[in-house]
Homo-oligomer: A and B are copies of this chain.
C-alpha cells in the first residue's frame, strides 16, 4: 500500500503537515509532483490527477489512498491518523486532535496572510505596506494567543508529554512544523514570545529528534523554508 501525496513542488506549504505524519510513521508514499516526469511525476501529473477526480478537490494538497481522493490538510490527517497510529483510539480523542489541528490550520492561514493581506493572487511586493501592519498584529497578538493556547494544553500534561499525553499524534508534528515555520519567518518575534512558551519549544525539540523525523529533516526530501511557502522570512515583517 503506497499513498500518493499531491502537492506543489518547491515549497513545504500545507503539504508538509501530511509529509511529517507519513515520514514519522515510516509509511510508503510517493510525493507525486516532485518525481520525474518520465516516471509519471511532475506538476503535470498532479494537475491530471486532480482533474480526473470526480469531484476534484478544491486545491492541493490531496491524498490518494486506493479509490479515495482526499482533500483539505486536516481532513487528510483525520483519515491518516488512525492508520499511521498517530491518533487516539477513541472517538473523543480523535475529535480533540482534529480540533487542535483545525486551530493550527487557522494559525497557518493567518501566517500566510501576513505577507498576503490584500490579495492572495498578487505579489507580496505590491502589498508590502499592508503586510507590515498585518504582521505587527500577528506578531503582537496572534502568535502569543495561538501558541499560548497550546502551552496551556501542554501545562495540563506531565513533563515531556505530548499534546494528548504519552502518545504522539499528528497534531504534535503539526505544532512542531508551525513553531519551526514561525521561527524561520519571525525569528525576533519568536525569541521574545519564547520565554512564555517553554513547553511548546520543548515539544518542538523532542519532535525534531524523533528518529524518523530527524532522518527526514536531514534528507533531500525535506524542502528548505523559502519565500514561496506559507512561512516567509521578510525581515521588515519581523518588527
Q: Do residues B137 and A119 form an inter-chain contact, with CB atoms below 8 A?
A: yes
Distance from A220 Cβ to chain B, minimum over Cβ atoms (Å): 31
Which residues of the other chain, B, contact A54 by a CB distance below 8 angstroms?
A: 156
Q: Do residues A134 and B117 form an inter-chain contact, with CB atoms below 8 A?
A: yes
**A75-B98, A118-B117, A120-B137 as given contacts; A55 in contact with B103, CB under 8 Å:** no
Number of A positions contacting B (CB below 8 A):
41
Cα distance, A105 to B70, chains bound together (Å): 17
Which residues of the other chain, B, contact A74 by a CB distance below 8 angstroms?
A: 74, 102
Interface: A214 (CB within 8 A)? no
Distance from A2 Cβ to chain B, minimum over Cβ atoms (Å): 19
Q: Do residues A99 and B57 form an inter-chain contact, with CB atoms below 8 A?
A: yes
Interface: A141 (CB within 8 A)? yes
Which residues of the other chain, B, contact A78 by a CB distance below 8 angstroms?
A: 95, 98
Q: Do residues B58 and A79 form an inter-chain contact, with CB atoms below 8 A?
A: no
Distance from A104 Cβ to chain B, minimum over Cβ atoms (Å): 10
User: Which residues of chain A (138-161) have a CB below 8 Å from chain B?
Assistant: 141-142, 146, 149, 152-153, 156
User: Which residues of chain A (92-142) have a CB below 8 Å from chain B?
Assistant: 92, 95, 98-99, 102-103, 105-106, 109, 113, 117-122, 127, 130, 133-134, 137, 141-142
Interface: A72 (CB within 8 A)? yes
Interface: A71 (CB within 8 A)? yes
Q: Do residues A134 and B106 form an inter-chain contact, with CB atoms below 8 A?
A: no
Q: Do residues A102 and B75 form an inter-chain contact, with CB atoms below 8 A?
A: yes
A71: which of B99, B120, B134, B152 is its contact (CB, 8 Å)? B99
Interface: A68 (CB within 8 A)? yes
A sample of 30 cross-chain residue pairs with beta-carbon separation below 8 angstroms, ordered by A number, consists of: A54-B156, A55-B152, A55-B156, A56-B152, A57-B99, A58-B103, A58-B106, A58-B149, A70-B95, A71-B99, A71-B103, A72-B102, A74-B74, A74-B102, A75-B95, A75-B102, A79-B95, A102-B105, A109-B109, A113-B113, A117-B117, A117-B118, A118-B134, A119-B141, A120-B137, A120-B142, A121-B137, A121-B141, A122-B137, A127-B133
